Amino acid sequence: MTSPTSPEEPWPVRTVARKIAEWINRLGQIWVEGQITQISMRPGAQTAFLTLRDPSADVSLTLTCSASLLRAMDPPLTDGSRVVVHGKPTFFVGRGTLSLRVDEIRAVGIGELLARIERLRQLLKTEGLFDPARKRPLPFLPNRVGLITGRASAAEHDVLTNAQLRWPAVQFEIRNVAVQGTNAVPQILPALQELDRLPEVDVIVMARGGGSVEDLLPFSDEALCRAVAACRTPVVSAIGHEPDSPLLDHVADVRCSTPTGAGKRVVPDVAEEGQRIHQLRDRARRALHGWVDRERRLLDQLRSRPVLADPHGPLQQRSEQVAMLRERSRRAMSAVLTAEGHAVNATRSRLTTLGPAATLARGYAIVQRIEETDEVDGVLRSVDDAPAGTRLRVRLADGAVHAVVPD
């Protein structure tokens, strides 16, 4: 029968169920790992029904097996047991349901679980999820603290009590989830993503008390570890006690050995901070007083200097110096003028003594020869030296000048 091409040619239910059964029967035998969440076996019944759940997701699968196989398990299976089953997928056409027909069930022991956790630890470490460089510091004083923990648990009480003792005004955004068993990871993941989306939440604390290895298995789940690594909000891991070390401790930004330690780590101590503020105020007061004292001493030193202590004194000194220099300049100038006056008088005396006026005053005359152009040619020492017919100019003692022509 070919696929219908129109609503007028639909397949009947029996045909669809049969084709689905044929396709599922071709899958063959498979191995499946999961966690037992429900066991249903009636007394005297030949078939037992179980529910196998994925520890990391809200997905389950129905198992059917012979009652004798279930009774032969040692130790007996209980809710929460981790198992590996071998079987064949079967589709029941009459009920339209899918189940896994199981012919072998193997309980996963603690040793195997620890080995798987160690392999996952190496894988996550190789991918860099444990690298200290990617871990974010916690805020000094968070606006609001997100808390993921069990409902009414001791871990919730320890975190809230210790945080409020240190900082009474701290505010929490609490999400109560299952912290062990098959429902733990499917409930923790949505709560973590919801808190990470809230802008007022500055840090997220995941807290749980101590327990067995099986109880702490959800906090070594790969999906949860990767979700914590992808958070933009810093995450604090407070799982179990000091010896417990689930993989979440290595992926989280900060690890606290106990929920009590987480309550003390996420907020500061108000008493210590108040004391630190007082110390800083005292240091600031002392520093300010020291600075004021230094500046006051500097002002006192400046005011004690002569130029500021007696501002008119330097001006008076400079005025006296200017007056003294003016007097020295006057005396020096007077001395120079006197010396030059004496020199001028001496020169005048020499000129008077050697000049023609002195000669005339002694009764002598000065005779000068006059050329044709009436220019004086010079002083004659003797009239006899002049040629005949030469005109002479004679200056007498009384200052009169006469022009004569000697014979």
Per residue in 21-58, pLDDT (tens digit) is 888 888 888 888 888 888 888 888 888 889 888 877 77
State the average pLDDT over residues 59-76: 85
Give 8 or 171, the one with higher predicted confidence. Answer: 171
Domain ranges of the chain: 13-108, 114-268, 270-328, 358-405
| pLDDT score at 5 | 47
Between these two residues, 173 and 58, which has the higher pLDDT value? 173
Asked if 145 contacts 206 with a C-beta cutoff of 8 angstroms, the reply is no
Q: Which residues contact 241 (CB under 8 A, 6 or more apart)?
A: 210, 257, 258
Is residue 405 predicted with pLDDT exceeding 70? no
Q: What average pLDDT does the segment 108-122 reach?
A: 78
pLDDT at 145 over 70: yes
Report residue 243: phi and psi, to 5°: -70, -25
Task: Give the model confidence (pLDDT) of 282-322 as tens digits.
Answer: 999 999 999 999 999 998 888 887 777 777 877 888 899 99
pTM, 2 dp: 0.56
Q: How far apart are CA 301 and CA 315, in angstroms?
A: 21
- pLDDT for residue 182: 75
Contact assessment for residue 171 and residue 145, using Cβ atoms and an 8 Å cutoff: yes
Which ranges in 215-311 belong to alpha helices (H)?
Answer: 222-230, 247-251, 259-265, 270-304, 306-309
90-99, 149-158, 291-300: least confidently modelled range: 90-99
pLDDT for 214 equals: 73
| pLDDT higher than threshold 70 for residue 383 | no
pLDDT single digits (tens) 187-230: 999 999 999 999 999 999 999 987 777 778 889 889 999 999 99
pLDDT of residue 77: 81
Residues 6+ apart with CB under 8 A from 203: 138, 139, 142, 145, 146, 233, 234, 235, 236, 266
pLDDT value at residue 364: 64
User: Is pLDDT of 365 > 70?
Assistant: no
Phi, psi of 68 (to 5 degrees): -65, -35
**What are the residues whose beta carbons fall under 8 Å from the beta carbon of 38, sequence distance 6 or more?**
50, 51, 79
Provide the mean pLDDT of the chain. Answer: 84
Q: Which CATH number fits domain 13-108: 3.40.50.11610, 3.40.50.410, 2.40.50.140, 3.30.70.1350?
A: 2.40.50.140
Token representation of residue 111: 């040793």
**Contact indicator for 37, 51 with CB cutoff of 8 Å:** yes
For residues 331-349, average pLDDT: 92
The strand order across the sheet containing 203-208 reads: 172-176, 145-149, 203-208, 235-239, 254-255
Asked if residue 373 has pLDDT above 60, the reply is: no
- Per-residue model confidence (pLDDT) at position 394: 61
Among 19, 23, 42, 89, residue whose Cα is nearest residue 61: 89
The residue ranking higher by pLDDT, 116 or 131, is: 131
The highest-confidence range among 36-40, 76-80, 335-339, by mean pLDDT, is: 335-339
Highest mean predicted confidence (pLDDT) among 29-38, 162-171, 346-355: 162-171
Write down the pLDDT at residue 213: 74
Residue 381 pLDDT more than 70?
Answer: no
Cβ-proximal residues to 46 (8 Å cutoff; 6+ apart), any chain: 66, 67
With respect to CATH, is domain 114-268 assigned 3.40.50.1100?
no
Residue positions counted in the chain: 407
Cβ atoms of 78 and 36 closer than 8 Å: yes
